[in-house]
A and B are shown apart, each in its own frame.
Chain A
């Protein structure tokens, strides 16, 4: 993927997983088209055992297409996809895979307990249904038909279903979209616990907060191409921007060292810079009148925006 980065930047190398040779998910040079649309363009991605990887990108970036290739629902036009060392289109290769159904896709006439039994019945050693329901706080709903569940309850059931077969790797597609904070925290805890037990996680989100909260490694995908693949810290460091917010009568957008500037409705200026210390020192030295100074690191969202903008202007 390094070829997509400008030469003046430090080359981005994925942190080598402990057992790089036995990658749990190995995607190599994969291209996938739908008619004229190129959903994935020569994408390569290895996920090692025990990694928790966040796949981040805007809607339509190719995240879900990538997951559907890894789960064997589609086949690539070019390149190879391996799952746990096998072809994901062979049912046997998927014995160690867990995925979430879309929450709207649960069979509405089946009860919660029945859906768990049914999905668990596909695996050699499923988690006992009672235990799984307990863990996800669904015990009281065991006899409820899934059609009568709330959105949050369906989400919890969906994530529970991905773990029922004690998978070695789970693919989570937007696991907590549309949930309130408490429910989201509970699901994050479940995902962290699974990972702490040695499980491998590949999750997609356009929820930047989610990736920031869970992932150790972040893969940024945009328009079918991997834009960056690195540890969470390195992604943030790589863009290396600090956000300086202040109020001032003069427009500071063109000040040296300011990469990007935005003006909020309340008159606050937000300046993004690689070196906040120097910028502030220069402002003081230049006798610029400012107040309400705030400085913090850029969030993943801001880092991501910067990354995509730079790709677009190149």
Chain B
């Protein structure tokens, strides 16, 4: 203790680290916390890769058609990102809220910003992890093909498309307990993925289902991603649909955060 000096009394304490350093700090430690539970990371990488192996690779008329194979990789890739976003934020936030470490973190000299931004950054990192095996399988076992430019456009698009799902996940995570969040995330994720054409190509849908499909954020995201990767144009309203859902989920997420704050930290 003798080496520890207390600053003399004065109106201000020396300024602490800035928001960028704090965000980087939270990003590093949240990443460490997650990566120490390898099954959480692996599960996210395995499911889309297995789906690819079981449903796409064996069907040679899909796997050997460059356009169809690329679309399959895009659909399952989007599924991996939706799933990572919804689980990381829906379940992860709900679990964090239950930890007694949470109020301690709130008392440290950092606002909620660095934690939130770090959480979004980590969601993106783990979502991209989920894409790696898919891209490898697509490249090695199917005729899927992209130029380097298309690949970067695809990764950029998928990160943009993930925003509404991150927000939806946060809305769930800040509204529900971890126990309730898990089934809700599953109930939301699978119908959205199916209706959005992530499991079956929307070209196989009857017209009534196709109409519903075009109103979902998953379909809008899928078509935009396919457009970036193959040049196949998305339906005209895709951006509008995606923006609409993003706005709605943003309102829900902010509302849920405020309600939670009011409930626990009045």
Contact = CB atoms under 8 A, between A and B. Distances in A.
Contacts of B111: 91
Please classify how large the interface on chain A is, using the bins under 10, 10 to 19, 20 to 34, 35 or more. Answer: 35 or more
Interface stretch (A66-74, A204-212, A240-248, A298-306): A66-74
Interface stretch (A99-107, A257-265, A276-284, A289-297): A99-107
B32 A68 contact: no
B103 interface: yes
Interface in A107-136: 107, 109-110, 114, 118-119, 121-125, 127, 131, 135
A121 B25 contact: yes
Contacts of B11: 85
A110 B109 contact: no
A91 B4 contact: no
B29 A123 contact: no
B110 interface: yes
B265 A124 contact: no
Contacts of B109: 91-95, 97, 122-123, 165
A152 interface: no
B6 A110 contact: no
B101 A105 contact: yes
Interface in B95-123: 99-104, 106-111
Please classify how large the interface on chain B is, using the bins under 10, 10 to 19, 20 to 34, 35 or more. Answer: 35 or more
Given A73-B103, A121-B17, A124-B15, A168 B108 contact: no
A150 B240 CA distance: 55
A127 B2 CA distance: 12
Contacts of B106: 72-73
A122 B101 contact: no
B22 interface: yes
A190 interface: yes
B16 interface: yes
Chain B interface, DSSP helix/strand/loop, else mixed: loop
Contacts of A122: 16-17, 22, 25, 108-110
Contacts of B104: 99-102, 105
Contacts of B15: 95, 124
Contacts of B14: 95, 124-125
A156 interface: no
A277 B104 CA distance: 51
Nearest to A165: B109
B4 A95 contact: no
B264 to A, nearest CB: 9
Contact of B9 (A22, A101, A106): A22
Interface stretch (A51-59, A191-199, A230-238, A266-274): A191-199
A99 B25 CA distance: 19
B17 A68 contact: no
A198 B100 CA distance: 30
Nearest to B99: A105
Contacts of B99: 105, 107
